[in-house]
Amino acid sequence: MPARYVYLGPEGTFAEQALRTLPQARRAQLDPAASVPEALDAVRSGEAEAALVPLENSIGGAEGVTLDEIAGGSPLVITREVVLPVNFVLAARVRPRGQSVQAPPVLDEIRTVAAHPNAARQCRGWLRDNLHGATVVEVLSNGAAAVAAADGSYDAAICAPIGATRNKLSVLAEQIADRKDSLTRFALVARPGPPPAPTGDDVTSLAVYISADRVGALLTVLTELAVRGVNMTRIESRPTGERLGRYVFFLDCTGHVAQVRMGEALEGLYRVCAEVKFLGSYPRASHPGEPAAPAARAPEGTGDADFAESAAWLARLRDGVA
Amino acid sequence: MPARYVYLGPEGTFAEQALRTLPQARRAQLDPAASVPEALDAVRSGEAEAALVPLENSIGGAEGVTLDEIAGGSPLVITREVVLPVNFVLAARVRPRGQSVQAPPVLDEIRTVAAHPNAARQCRGWLRDNLHGATVVEVLSNGAAAVAAADGSYDAAICAPIGATRNKLSVLAEQIADRKDSLTRFALVARPGPPPAPTGDDVTSLAVYISADRVGALLTVLTELAVRGVNMTRIESRPTGERLGRYVFFLDCTGHVAQVRMGEALEGLYRVCAEVKFLGSYPRASHPGEPAAPAARAPEGTGDADFAESAAWLARLRDGVA
Amino acid sequence: MPARYVYLGPEGTFAEQALRTLPQARRAQLDPAASVPEALDAVRSGEAEAALVPLENSIGGAEGVTLDEIAGGSPLVITREVVLPVNFVLAARVRPRGQSVQAPPVLDEIRTVAAHPNAARQCRGWLRDNLHGATVVEVLSNGAAAVAAADGSYDAAICAPIGATRNKLSVLAEQIADRKDSLTRFALVARPGPPPAPTGDDVTSLAVYISADRVGALLTVLTELAVRGVNMTRIESRPTGERLGRYVFFLDCTGHVAQVRMGEALEGLYRVCAEVKFLGSYPRASHPGEPAAPAARAPEGTGDADFAESAAWLARLRDGVA
Amino acid sequence: MPARYVYLGPEGTFAEQALRTLPQARRAQLDPAASVPEALDAVRSGEAEAALVPLENSIGGAEGVTLDEIAGGSPLVITREVVLPVNFVLAARVRPRGQSVQAPPVLDEIRTVAAHPNAARQCRGWLRDNLHGATVVEVLSNGAAAVAAADGSYDAAICAPIGATRNKLSVLAEQIADRKDSLTRFALVARPGPPPAPTGDDVTSLAVYISADRVGALLTVLTELAVRGVNMTRIESRPTGERLGRYVFFLDCTGHVAQVRMGEALEGLYRVCAEVKFLGSYPRASHPGEPAAPAARAPEGTGDADFAESAAWLARLRDGVA
């Protein structure tokens, strides 16, 4: 029996497209889930091996639901991330034209376009320039937009390439988002287990709970990281209703739990925070189409060789060998 | 001619309800805007005095669109915040029953419920316990849900109280969200001008841009605040596409730009950050229904009296009076 | 052959008195050295097991020479500290009086007092009140003062109790220093070897070299300590002529090199400093006569139990056991 | 009546030599004081305008007495510093030789050398190489050594050049210290008054008292400085007997009390420390013979222009001009 993976549905969304880029998805059974909570519940209950859910979008920001749901129930960890360029297409049904010819409509014939509000917003400029007279009808997902174009409810859809393929739509225009470099980041979430081996370029995700009742509490957290040369690439504060006066911060850091540097930093956080939830160490995904950002400079003295050297020195001190 | 205010529409959403709590809205013309960008554009162009838009929700988190749109174009500032308890109601049309009696349906009669996906998620428990057999149909806003119940498309709607009133719906159940303490925070956004006078309990909002290419850059930012005893109550990191390797952090801090403490901290941020956008100083809204969180303790020596005393001491030193 | 220990001479100084408080000195040969450099050279060359030299005085401050000489040549470590109350006495020769009676002079008969300048300064108030007419003659050490009183050069001496005993002087007045709580701290310095076992209340001494060419370099050093909850009880900056733009800081910290906390902090210092010289971990001396200072509170989360717990948690994370 | 200045005597020491380098000393009456306390008492009582006393020596370190005495009584401030190369000379009396010729001894004839212990230590190498057979007799000051050579008590003296001149000694060898770059730093200490005008390269000296009962108290102090880009060039911790559990740190910082940057930092220290004593802002002395140390880099964003710009920005914010 093949492993079963779920993803945030419906079929034909970017989440399915992201899941299909993973080697482990090739021989597995892939099923859509109606929502992020449903997807994660399937993992928690053991019905699925793992779930592919959106973490953040370079335009829309963090997916608050995903963060809350990962951190909120029984432990889950991220084992892979997938970063997908948000390639919106305009797709339409191929219709009978004249006697035997089937062809998609030309742009001038399109009066109505189904789109998720986020998609519509991201393609605002293109729509204004190319479909000026058309009405945009907002629907609940990119997948639903494709379905609505396929069943004839609307003339066209803004959707993911996989949504067009899946619904046998013809792609009238590609890359129609106003910002070409927009990305969505997805996480493959599983039940806890030994983390994937370090690759040399890994991410560690954490949910860090701190008491809100003193100035500088977050400063203490960041100091624990900086002192060990651990770079933080992302932070989101979110309210937590569990107890009054508590905040949770979602952090992404550069490095792997197996590293000395990261281990020391995690221990430090554990000591100074109300609670730390480890959300996984996993390989950093290459960002297709994105020019590489300049890597964060490790402060002098916090390279891996520095850590090895300092440990050797300490061992000599303890042995009394000067 | 009355002042004109816009809010994130459609009519009957929580945004309209929030705007109507403000004194300045009483004699003003209030118009819905189709989206946050449209609402802010109306302010930027001078068509509206100010716009009421959602900033964050205690369940769903930050409204990324709002943050981006405030920080993104010509300068805008927040002049008021409104915090509204998210009181979801189940509402239905009053229909003819028998000869002359009009009455709303009882719960058992409801087969379909229109709801925005976030609303449906927040009321999941209540729906399971009270409307087990009903189908939830997702629509694009709480206002749209109310309209769809009013025109008979669905049997009932999950919506804001104002959505029920506006559409002459009967409220079948109140406070149906699973978490009763859920809140939405809105901002009244205007063109730059002298900030409202300090009240003693104010918020200052900032967008802080930092170079991402060194470990601990955010630490530097937080140190500037902590050293002046400025408490940070919220932080969101968001990617910025303007230039590579740059992050923007949205910060909410306790205090007012007119205070010495906050002035020093802002100057410090200005010096160490790539860019700082001031998004306003405004009175902290009371949080109805929320038990007060313990106030952040100012570190010893950072009270207002401490600041006054230290300034007097410095003046004596400079005069050579020991 | 008994072990040989040296101390800062001449005989009869506080250094000899301090050395004699140590158990290991009981069966050893104890020899004065003419200077701190000579004392330490005797250890470096192997002629002596260890040397007892002054580290600091609660009135006069650090003994710069000792610090420089310990840090300056081939490695040496402190293995014990001794803290001695500075009990200055006024002592005089017992002289023949009348036929067969021998008696010390009474205060009124004293015209000249030999004293080391530091001793004279510390007893200024007592001398003014009790020996108003007497002339204080400055000599080069407390031991030399006692010798000069014994050989009749002067009428009396300000010296250590052991100086009086050694020179068969009669003590005319005890505790004559103006501050009764004054202390001198001595170090027993040896060639490197395994440090004494932790006692639960230990001191670790360090010489830390940092580049002087950036603001906040020392801040980095102190952060490495504070993050691990390591308390610093003493700091001295001293110029170093070895290379331009380098400072050396002598630090005393609470804790032992064998502790996890201290080990992490030392490794951190090793990584961020130009050089770190470990000057020993040794039991904190009880301070006779000194009321206990309030112990430094370890910041929350940096107790020993916290360290143990955090290490256990990290081990579970690495094993994938949530 | 000319102004009266005192210096740490006796006549012919480096302190007198240092005082004579100051313009204000030219037409003034210069008198030796027997000790640092006496010198400062003369200033406190109004008997002298100012006192020239040693602050630190690049070999021997801080003059603890001076620091304690400046900080200890009624307020005093440093108005000038003088840095003097420690140019030890070997000097001897010119004696009758043969009938009419008077000549100093040659090195071979010298059997006894008077020297202060610190001087003897600093010239150890030269003495070993050039006066191998001679006996060094320790005396209480460099000035006393010169006097003892002049009166024939010993064959030669190690002293300051001014000590040779004053006692009509002939200089047999110059620059005999083993380290040629050794310096002594003196302070001109006066009663409080408006500080000298900023020169662009000034020093500000402070005595900072902190509670010793928490880890990282000094870290707080240094953070106040670093955040304002204030560089600390020297630190000494000294015990204070006034109250238990209190330390005093003597700090030298780069900058002037009249600067915004320094003013902010001082105010910050005032707020977080138990007590701050301002010991003066005064021009940095050029260090003759010392190769310039690389200047401390101000952290990015803390230059004077940055401070001016940030103040202008804040003023615009407060006026509501974006």
The sign of the CA dihedral C266, C267, C270, C271 is: negative
Of B3-17, C283-297, D137-151, least confident by mean pLDDT is C283-297
Contact flag C270-A309 (C-beta cutoff 8 Å)? yes
| Rg of the Cα atoms in chain C | 23
Identify from B41, B139, B215, B244 which residue to disrupt to test chain A contact, counting A C-beta atoms within 10 A and taking the largest count: B215
Q: What is the pLDDT of residue C203?
A: 95
Enter the DSSP assignment of B304. Answer: H
Over residues A127-148, the pLDDT tens digits come to 989 998 888 888 888 889 999 9
With beta carbons under 8 A apart, name residues in chain C contacting D244: 291, 293-294
Closest approach of chain A CAs to the CA of B66, in angstroms?
Answer: 10
pLDDT of residue C183: 81
Instruction: Check A322 against C227: CB less than 8 A apart.
Output: no
Per-residue pLDDT at D64: 74
Q: Is the pLDDT of residue A126 over 60?
A: yes
**Closest-CA distance of chain A to residue B68, Å:** 9
Chain C contact for A140 (CB, 8 A cutoff): no
10-residue mean pLDDT profile of chain D (322 residues): values are 89 90 93 91 97 82 80 93 90 75 80 89 88 86 92 94 93 90 89 94 93 72 91 80 64 92 93 92 76 51 81 89 74
Tell me the HSE value of C22 on the side-chain side, using a 13 A CA sphere: 26
Average pLDDT, chain B: 86
At which residue do the structure tokens 């006192």 appear? D51
D-contacting chains (≥3 CB pairs under 8 Å) = B, C
The answer to whether the CB of B50 falls within 8 A of the CB of B5 is yes
Helices (DSSP H) in C151-292: which residue ranges? 161-166, 217-227, 260-272
Does the pLDDT value for residue C243 go beyond 50? no
Query: Mind listing the pLDDT tens digit for each residue in B273-318?
Result: 889 999 999 999 876 544 444 445 556 677 778 888 888 889 889 9
User: Which residues of A fall within a CB distance of 8 Å from C272?
Assistant: 299-302
Contacts of A61 in chain B (CB under 8 A): 62, 64, 67-68, 236, 238
Residue C214: its chain D contacts at CB < 8 A? Answer: 296-297, 299
Q: Indicate contact of A with D: 3+ CB pairs under 8 A.
A: no
pLDDT at B320 over 70: yes
Q: Are A159 and A145 in contact, with CB atoms under 8 Å apart? A: yes
Average pLDDT over residues C16-26: 93
Nearest-Cα distance to chain C for A310, in Å, is 5
Mean pLDDT score, A95-117? 79
Q: What is the pLDDT of residues B90-115, one digit of tens each?
A: 999 987 666 666 777 788 889 999 99
Low-confidence winner among A22-31, B133-142, C248-257 (lowest mean pLDDT): B133-142
Is A319 within 8 Å of chain C by CB? yes
Nearest-neighbour CA in chain B from A55: distance (Å): 13
Q: What is the pLDDT of residues B21-63, one digit of tens each?
A: 999 899 999 999 988 889 999 999 999 999 999 988 766 666 7
Q: What is the pLDDT of residue B218?
A: 86
Which spans in B104-216 are helix H?
Answer: 117-122, 124-130, 142-150, 161-166
The reported pLDDT for the residue numbered A294 is 44
Whether pLDDT at C2 is above 90: no
Mutating which of D227, D237, D238 best tests the C interface, going by the most C Cβ atoms within 10 A?
D237
- CB proximity under 8 Å: C 217-246 to D: 218-219, 222-223, 225-226, 229-239, 241, 244-245
User: Would you state the structure tokens that stand for residue D170, as one six-digit string?
Assistant: 């002939």
Residue pLDDT, tens place only, A155-180: 999 999 999 999 999 999 999 998 87
Cβ–Cβ of D213/C295 closer than 8 Å?
A: yes
C263: which chain A residues are within 8 Å (Cβ-Cβ)? 314, 318
Question: Given this model, what pLDDT does residue C122 score?
Answer: 84
Residue A245 has pLDDT above 60, yes or no: no
Q: What integer pLDDT is reported at residue A29 of this predicted model?
A: 96
Which residue did the predictor score with more confidence, D149 or A303? D149
User: What's the CA angle centered on B235, arms B291 and A225, to 5 degrees?
Assistant: 115
The pLDDT of residue B291 is 44
Structure tokens at D280: 């003066």
pLDDT band, very low/low/confident/very high, at B321 (cuts 50, 70, 90): confident
Closest partner residue to B310 (CB to CB) among D270, D299, D302 is D270
Interface test with chain B among A138, A236, A237, A252, by most B beta carbons within 10 Å: A237
Q: pLDDT higher for D272 or C191?
A: C191
* Interval B138-173: pLDDT, tens: 888 888 999 999 999 999 999 999 999 999 999 999
Query: Does the model's ipTM exceed the 0.90 cut?
Result: no
Predicted confidence (pLDDT) at residue C298 exceeds the cutoff of 80: no
pLDDT at A181: 73
Q: What was the pLDDT predicted at A292? A: 45
* Band of pLDDT at residue B16, cut at 50, 70 and 90: very high
**For B320, which of D195, D300, D319 is closest by C-beta distance?**
D195
Nearest to C241 among D179, D216, D222 (CB): D179
User: What residues in D contact C121, CB-CB < 8 Å?
Assistant: 35, 37, 65
Query: Pick from D317, C46, A255: which is nearest to B259 by CA?
Result: D317
Which chain B positions have a beta carbon within 8 Å of A250's beta carbon? none
Q: Which of residues 250-289 of B touch A (CB under 8 A)?
A: none
The whole-angstrom separation of Cα A273 and Cα A125 is: 45
Is the pLDDT score of C20 beyond 80? yes
d(CA B107, CA B111): 9
Q: Is C213 on the interface with A (CB under 8 A)?
A: no
* D143 backbone dihedrals φ, ψ, rounded to 5°: -65, -40
A247, burial (CB in 10 Å: exposed 0-12, middle 13-18, buried 19+): buried
Q: List Cα–Cα distances, C151 to A226, B87, C108, C114, C167, in angstroms.
A: 65, 99, 20, 12, 9
* Burial grade of C321 (CB within 10 A; 0-12, 13-18, 19 or more): exposed
